[in-house]
Structures are given as structure tokens and as C-alpha cells.
Structure 1
Amino acid sequence: MTDEHTDLHWDPALAASLIGKTLLMNLTFLDDDGEVLERQQFFGVVIDADEGEGITLDLLGEHDGDTYTLPPQTSAIKAAEAGVISLAGDKPDFVASWIIHGPPDVANDLDDDEDQPA
């Protein structure tokens, strides 16, 4: 028996294998009654995977050039099955899907430049 803590949500070997691979991210936002408020999908190349900082994507497609950092939970990431493609037609190496209870955070909106200083 060991006293070592094992984090079931972070697999360092999987995290290391993500670097340079493509990831398709699906987000579903639900209201208090469980009804879908919004769905978002984005696609990118994993450029960093850190247990403390999260998993950073260099986004492709309509958000090309932006980055997005996911929580440090490799347990939500699975190898993409044959035939899985993004809305733009890209074939990912991995997919992750999250269900979020609450509205999308405006600060996380990838297209929101209104709050940026001029």
C-alpha cells in the first residue's frame, strides 16, 4: 500500500502524448433546468499540457491564431474514432466533450475584442 496521491483526472503520459496533436473540443452549456443554452466547437493543436496550468491549444479554423486553455483534466480526452471530423471538416487526433452548467462566460468568448484596450 502506498500513501502517494494519484490524480484520476491527470495522466502525465497522455498529457505528454498530446503535444503536437490535434484536439476537437465540444462544449455544451446547460441552464438550471438542464436545457441546452449553447454549443461551441473548436479545433486546434496542443502546444502545452501542464498539470497546474491546463492544456493549451493553438486554434485552427475560424479562430486561427488564437489560443485556448482547457482545464488540466486528461480524463476528458479520448482518441478520436474513425470518421470523427470538426464542423470545418478537419480530422482530429483526440476529442474532448464538456457539459457546463451555466451560461458561457463572456470573457471566454474567442471573438470578443470589445473589452480589449485600444
Structure 2
Amino acid sequence: MASALNVGKLLQGVGLAPKAPPPPDDSTANALLSLGQMQLQQQQAQQQAIITQQQQEAAAQKQAAEQQEMARQAAQKAQEQARQDAMKRKKASSLIATSPTGLPESLLGSAASLYGKSTLGA
């Protein structure tokens, strides 16, 4: 069998037998494969960029919501403090208008006036 192979090569050498086919040209396939891999990498990079952008937007929205909540709480606290201050002022003003006996000055003035009128015979 080895001699038949040698005879085939000898005949090919002299041109009497067809030559062996050339090795397949796979440069086009390799180029297409390489191009496909580059496109896949680009798509993955784009997808990662989109995901990163979405995460950043979500974080920004969360931060804005937290700041809005903090501002709402601060406004509510300021409103409550203002209400308490108004209550203190109202209580203080009612204490000022009250005599040491606990009766309002207007009643004491009326009572003194009546007492004065009754003692003076008016």
C-alpha cells in the first residue's frame, strides 16, 4: 500500500495524475469569526453602559426622593415649632392680662369701679 502511495506521488510529479487539492482557504472564515467576536464585545460593552446609566439614574432618583423627604420633614418640624411658639405666646399674653388673683384685669377693674361707686354713694 505504501508503494501505491509512492506511485501516486510519482505520477503526480510527472503530471500524469491530478494534483492534490490545495489546503482550504479559511482566512475568510477566520476574518468573519473575528468580526463576529468584535461585534459581540461591542454589544456587551453597550449593554453594560446602558445598565450602568440606568443604575446611575436610579441612584439619582433615590437621592432626590430622600432629599425631598428630608425637606418635607424639616418643613413639618418648622411648622410644628411655629405652632408651639404661637401657643406659648398666646399663653404668655393671657397670663399678662391676668392679675395675681387669677382674675382678668378687666373684671378687677369693673369690680373696683363698682366698689368705689358703692362706697362713695354714687
Give the greater-gyration-radius structure (CA). 2
Q: TM-score range with shorter-chain normalisation?
A: under 0.3
Greater fraction strand: 1
Structure having the higher helix fraction is 2
Higher RCO (C-alpha under 8 Å, 6+ residues apart): 1
